[in-house]
Amino acid sequence: MSEQSAVLLHQVKKAFPLQGGRALEVLDLEHLALSVGSCTVLRGRSGSGKTTLLNLIAGVTAPSAGTIRVGGTDVFALSEARRDRFRAENIGYVFQTFNLVAALSALENVILAMMFADVVPQREQRRRAGDLLTRLGLSERVAHKPAQLSRGEQQRVAIARALANSPQLVLADEPCASLDARTANEVLAIFLAVCRQEKKTLLLVSHDEAALFGADRVIDMTELNRTEADRWSA
């Protein structure tokens, strides 16, 4: 990652086409920079563009205009195949839904993520997966399949999977939204602690008050997104 910024967005816009040749403008960002090793919490109402922003940074969705750099790499200057590889090796993504493979154990779900990137040597993958699950409080559950785990435990496996390839950037989209308040606070605290220990740059979309205590910075989409600001001032 760059010594100055882990993530750098400049004049980024995103619009989705509508019928009749019209377009729905969702994002209009002048500038956004995330420093290396920082924890940033992104807040805003539903529909304000938070998930779209994460997908742009991850290289999942292409911007309509502007540049997006992750660790100094212009993400959309890469071919689709190279962008997929770059994402697998450099970006961890934690979703609201766990997206675990039902037929695989917790350990196997984490190892699976390592097979899509040439980062962790094969001989080290089982040890790396086991270490992450242990640090996330699942040392006794590594052989269990998703159906045998609570929702909070499933989300911990999903977090371990996102960290499996030692990415320097971690994106998390309301990772505890489907959990009860107590479980959400427990999972969030562990997640933030592990990211700190591994010196990850974290961009976290969350409405949980607990997330604010671990944040270096809190960003409101109404202030960041000019489209959102215009919508509120109209």
CATH of the domain at 219: 3.40.50.300
Structure confidence at residue 91 (pLDDT): 96
| Residue 71 pLDDT exceeds 80 | yes
Look at the chain and report how many structural domains it folds into: 1
Report residue 111 CA to chain centroid gap.
18
Give, in degrees to the nearest 5, the angle at Cα 92 between 90 and 94. Answer: 165
Q: Note the pLDDT tens digit of each residue in 12-32.
A: 999 999 988 899 999 999 999
- Mean pLDDT for the chain? 92
Q: Note the pLDDT tens digit of each residue in 117-162.
A: 989 999 999 999 999 999 999 999 999 999 999 999 999 999 999 9
Q: How many other C-beta atoms are found inside a 10 Å radius of the C-beta of residue 112?
A: 16
Q: In this structure, is residue 43 part of a structural domain?
A: yes
Query: pLDDT band at 233, cuts 50/70/90?
Result: low
Q: In this structure, is residue 40 part of a structural domain?
A: yes
| Residue 54 pLDDT exceeds 90 | yes
If you average pLDDT over residues 56-79, what whole number do you get? 96
What is the C-alpha to C-alpha distance for residues 9 and 28, in angstroms, rounded to an integer?
A: 11
If you average pLDDT over residues 48-55, what whole number do you get? 95
Query: pLDDT band at 195, cuts 50/70/90?
Result: very high
Q: In this structure, is residue 9 part of a structural domain?
A: no
Q: In this structure, is residue 53 part of a structural domain?
A: yes
Is residue 90 within 8 Å of residue 169, measured between CB atoms?
A: yes
| Residue 234 pLDDT exceeds 60 | no
Query: pLDDT band at 1, cuts 50/70/90?
Result: very low
Q: In this structure, is residue 84 part of a structural domain?
A: yes
Which structural domain range is residue 134 located in? 36-63+75-233
Structure confidence at residue 214 (pLDDT): 79
Q: In this structure, is residue 203 part of a structural domain?
A: yes
Structure confidence at residue 232 (pLDDT): 52
Structure confidence at residue 20 (pLDDT): 86
Percent of the chain scored above 70 by pLDDT?
96
If you average pLDDT over residues 48-61, what whole number do you get? 95
Q: Of 153, 84, 88, whose CA–CA distance to 114 is shortest?
A: 88
Q: Are strands 73-74 and 39-43 parallel, antiparallel or unpaired?
A: unpaired
What is the C-alpha to C-alpha distance for residues 21 and 3, in angstroms, rounded to an integer?
A: 42
Structure confidence at residue 179 (pLDDT): 87
| Residue 207 pLDDT exceeds 60 | yes
Is residue 210 within 8 Å of residue 182, measured between CB atoms?
A: no
Which tokens hold the place of 197? 């220990």
Structure confidence at residue 143 (pLDDT): 98
Instruction: Say which residue, 232 or 183, is predicted with more confidence.
Output: 183
